[in-house]
Amino acid sequence: MRNDWEGWKIVYDPDDRPVFPPQVVMEVKALACELPFESGIPLSRFSANDIAAEIMRRGIVAQISGSTVWRWLSEDAIRPWQYRSWIFPRDPQFEQKAGHVLDLYQGVWCGCPLGFNEYVISADEKTSIQARVRKHASLAPITGKCMRVEHEYTRGGSLNYIAAWDVKRAKVFGRCESRSGIKPFDRLVTDVMNQEPYLSAKRVFWILDNGSSHRGQPCVTRLQKRWPNIAVVHLPVHASWLNQIEIYFSIVQRKVLTPNDFDCLESLEERLFQFQEHYERIAKPFEWKFTREDLTSMLKKLSSQSEYLALSA
């Protein structure tokens, strides 16, 4: 068999699988690393069959299967049919602000180690948690069948779970509130700061994102007026992934809220508090490995990507 390019020959291996010239494999991988619409193809993303069809349309080979294309791309972990959303950092002080948070996770502030009487708190809200009342009871697993949860449900209301995580001591503090806002958030801060060791601590660093209930200098002024030993450290915009409380929230989502099956809102609240107590008994500080050096490396890569996109625009 010959393809459309003169001089290229496709041979067969002993298992009757066609062996294509290396240049064909390179052409396929190059196409997979392009956005389809940039080549005038009216697709948002490629499938293996789409790439095979385009390779044949371009006359690179006379015939090739989608499975062959998939096998080649799989070898290099190229998945043009998959995608994920992401956000370029837009805070001009992103590295500086994020660096302060990463230093705190390493027990350092402004180049000096934290003292024994200084603490780091990570806090945020998990908003609009629904209580889904299933129309039929869930069935426990049995031999050969997994747990079964009724698809239809009625809405039993929603609540906000506001929580704080002591980074060094692996302690959890949480409240359930009917709505989020400054007053509910300040009630959480009160719960934490009015007990030891935080009440008499030299400094308590609160790592916060830019949510409306704890945003900017007004939040700093408000909290420090009541608790002078609080030091508020705001994350840059779009950097909640640097907030350790989000790790705890992800655990709550997996362990408590999936599947979501509660008789009423009160049952949901009770389960959240029971899990909070359970988790605190077994919790250890999170093993945080992302450092300032990793941040600098990541931002350099993103900067290169931004420059490429600017030149391509």
Q: What is the pTM of this model?
A: 0.81
Strand 18-19 to 108-109 pairing: unpaired
pLDDT in tens, 157-182: 999 999 999 999 999 999 999 999 99
- Distance, in Å, from the CA atom of 156 to the CA atom of 88, rounded to the nearest integer, reads 38
Domains, the chain, ordered by start: 11-75 (no CATH), 94-292 (3.30.420.10)
pLDDT in tens, 36-91: 998 899 999 999 999 999 999 999 999 999 999 999 999 999 999 999 887 778 88
- pLDDT category, 263, cuts 50, 70, 90? very high
